[in-house]
Homo-oligomer: A and B are copies of this chain.
Amino acid sequence: MASFELLLLPGDGIGPEVMAQVERLVQWVNETGEAELETTSDLVGGCAYDEHGEAISEEAMKQAVSADAVMLGAVGGPKWDDVPYDKRPEAGLLRLRKDLELFANLRPAICYPALADASSLKRELVDGLDIMIVRELTGGVYFGEPKEITDLGDGQKRAVDTQVYETYEIERIARVAFELAQKRGNLVHSAEKRNVMKTGVLWNEVVTRVHKDEFSDVQLQHILADNCAMQLIRYPKQFDVIVTDNLFGDVLSDEASMATGSLGMLPSASLGAEDENGRRKALYEPVHGSAPDIAGRDIANPIATIASFAMCLRYSFDLGGLADRIEGAIAKVLDQGYRTADIMQDGKHEVGTTQMGDAILSAL
């Protein structure tokens, strides 16, 4: 029987509550007898800073490197607004992404049919929506140097961030996007601002070449990022896969996930390159944040984190069958009318975090 090491990093805010539901599912997986998952837990984000003075400890980083996969809850909160920049909660998450070289962030924006009416967009625009946003995650303005604030005297400061992309970084993320499209709707939109940014010019050039040389069977459309932000609202179903840089990916994926009406429901996977054994480092986390305002009240929606665990089973542990069963259970409890507060609708049955976990486990 295959056995895997899974590192759990619940993080801050609602992170620990939603991760607790994943721990129950880990136990369920072990009981199926199809695989053996061994879990370790550690700190990341503000709680790690409180404990170790760093947003992630060296010990936790070592575990993350050696684990077969990492699951993360969420990081951040107003409590840490004033900690030094390089020790802020987000630094833990960014270090994980960078040091594990998780360059491909997959963010599905799907509309759960049961929730189509919860979207701000008209039902007919989002019903059945299924977009995959492929965001570059280890380059761009997030990590480029210089990144600094200089004191110019006389009360003036100068802040600089640097967006950098090299050819190979664009090639590998483009390949991920085209390969995904081949298994989906066969259409890729590549979003950049080539009319203003040199990184956009290179992005456009490299994506065009990878397409021509390796994936000419897939349909490719170039779109300016500002226009993409528009089109995601005008007619979201025109998209299948969207590939874009780190910063545009951050903004566009949040926008798209909100359009689905399913924000508390959406998982994500951050993947590294395949090694010689066909295995890749991976981190799974919900798209939503740490929601400090509702933390500790057992009312957060655990579905995004549970769906992230399903992605982990599928992509990291090759347990697609179990992933299907979990996703089926999620759809079933929604059909049965169970709703956490964030997705509550008239006539449905409002439940808390643990109760949603109960419902999903009994559906299994």
Interface of A with B (CB < 8 Å)? Answer: 76, 85, 88, 90, 94, 120-122, 125, 141-142, 144, 147-149, 152, 155-168, 193, 195-199, 201-203, 225-227, 229-230, 232-235, 247-248, 250-252, 254-255, 257-259, 263, 289
Complexed CA–CA distance, A257 and B234 (Å): 11
With A201-B149, A229-B229 as known contacts, state yes or no: A164 contacts B155, CB within 8 Å.
Answer: no
A5 to chain B, nearest CB (A): 30
Contact B233 A147 (CB under 8 A): no
A202 to chain B, nearest CB (A): 4
**What are 6 of the A-B contact pairs (CB < 8 Å)?**
A120-B233, A148-B198, A149-B202, A158-B167, A160-B164, A234-B258
A233: B residues at CB distance < 8 A: 120-121, 233, 255, 258-259
Contact A167 B144 (CB under 8 A): no
Contact A141 B163 (CB under 8 A): yes
With A157-B202, A160-B144, A197-B141 as known contacts, state yes or no: A255 contacts B254, CB within 8 Å.
Answer: no
Complexed CA–CA distance, A165 and B227 (Å): 25
Complexed CA–CA distance, A120 and B147 (Å): 38
Contact of A257 among B149, B158, B230, B263 (CB under 8 A): B230
A67 to chain B, nearest CB (A): 25
A121: B residues at CB distance < 8 A: 120-122, 233
Contact B250 A193 (CB under 8 A): yes
A235: B residues at CB distance < 8 A: 120
Contact of A196 among B142, B230, B232 (CB under 8 A): B142
Complexed CA–CA distance, A197 and B141 (Å): 8
Complexed CA–CA distance, A263 and B226 (Å): 13
Contact B255 A229 (CB under 8 A): yes
Complexed CA–CA distance, A241 and B319 (Å): 49
For A148, A165, A255, which residue has the most chain B Cβ atoms within 10 angstroms?
Answer: A255
Complexed CA–CA distance, A257 and B156 (Å): 34
Contact B230 A161 (CB under 8 A): no
Complexed CA–CA distance, A141 and B226 (Å): 14
Contact of A201 among B85, B155, B198 (CB under 8 A): B85
A254: B residues at CB distance < 8 A: 226-227, 229-230
**A249: nearest chain-B partner, CB-CB:** B226
Contact of A199 among B122, B144, B160 (CB under 8 A): B160
Contact B161 A199 (CB under 8 A): yes
